[in-house]
Amino acid sequence: MDQLSVSPTGLPQPRVTRRTAVASVPLNLVFFGPPGAGKGTQADRFAARHRIPKISTGDMLRKAIQDGTRVGMLVRDTLKCGGLVSDDLIISLVAERLEHPDTADGFVLDGFPRTIPQAAALDAMLCDRGGITVVALVVHADEVVRRLAGRGRDDDEVYVIRERLSVYARETEPVLEFYRRRSAVAILDGNRPLDAVTESIEQAVVVRRKS
């Protein structure tokens, strides 16, 4: 009877402890910004510091390609050309991942949602799991190109970068407006050095939440 206590009626009751009370507000975060904004690095840092999983759809897709799975075969050409994979496919991958119990205290999403239908689907998935906080990193276009060109990933060729940036402007930027109407959104300057950005995220998400 570790997790349960017995009520006067004799029925087992969940034991409410301080820890579960505090942990009951999960840290559900979406890191948002153009390719090269530093989302992935900042998401890694935040997730490690707060012991919650980072869920990167780009990493999931690259792994599927590397492992030669059916999903990997389906998305390989899309990633190579800098397009977006279909909403249905990516939504089902994320929905499945969010069912894993390690997300109960929160998670950091990196690279999802990237379209309005993806954002709407995420809202539905989380309707009974607390709200979402969006951390949007704003970075100058020339800084983005400089960072991506130095990274050397397969889809970091100049013409693919250009395509990814235009897809971002067309499909993904409107998602921020979607969230500004319904969720907490922190818009932060991503041009600054990594540690300064990490600190500002911490301030915006954790310190603000406690106060």
Residues of the shown chain interacting with ligand ADP in the complex, contacts defined by CB under 6 A: 35, 57-58, 61, 78-79, 82-85, 90, 111-112, 114, 118, 164
In the complex with ligand ADP, the residue whose CB is nearer, 61 or 185, is 61
- Name the residue number minimizing CB distance to ligand ADP: 58
In the complex with ligand ADP, the residue whose CB is nearer, 33 or 106, is 33
Q: Spell out the residues 6+ positions from residue 175 whose beta carbon is closer than 8 angstroms to its own.
A: 32, 113, 114, 115, 116, 118, 119
Q: How far is 28 from 181, CA to CA, in rounded Å?
A: 17
Nearest-approach distance from CB 209 to ligand ADP, in angstroms: 26
Nearest-approach distance from CB 211 to ligand ADP, in angstroms: 31
In the complex with ligand ADP, the residue whose CB is nearer, 145 or 206, is 145
Query: ∠86-162-145 over CA atoms, to 5°?
Result: 120
Nearest-approach distance from CB 72 to ligand ADP, in angstroms: 12
Q: Which residues of 84-114 are buried (b: 16+ CB within 10 A; e: fewer)?
A: bbebeebbebbeebbeeeebebbbbbbbbbb
Nearest-approach distance from CB 205 to ligand ADP, in angstroms: 20
Q: How far is 58 from 60, CA to CA, in rounded Å?
A: 5
Q: Spell out the residues 6+ positions from residue 15 whose beta carbon is closer than 8 angstroms to its own.
A: 3, 4, 5
Nearest-approach distance from CB 186 to ligand ADP, in angstroms: 19
Q: How far is 35 from 59, CA to CA, in rounded Å?
A: 13
In the complex with ligand ADP, the residue whose CB is nearer, 52 or 165, is 165
Distances (CA, A) of 80 to 46, 62, 96, 157: 29, 10, 25, 10
Contact 57, 90 (CB under 8 A): yes
In the complex with ligand ADP, the residue whose CB is nearer, 109 or 205, is 109
Alpha carbons within 13 angstroms on the beta-carbon side of residue 27 total 26
Nearest-approach distance from CB 35 to ligand ADP, in angstroms: 3
In the complex with ligand ADP, the residue whose CB is nearer, 45 or 164, is 164
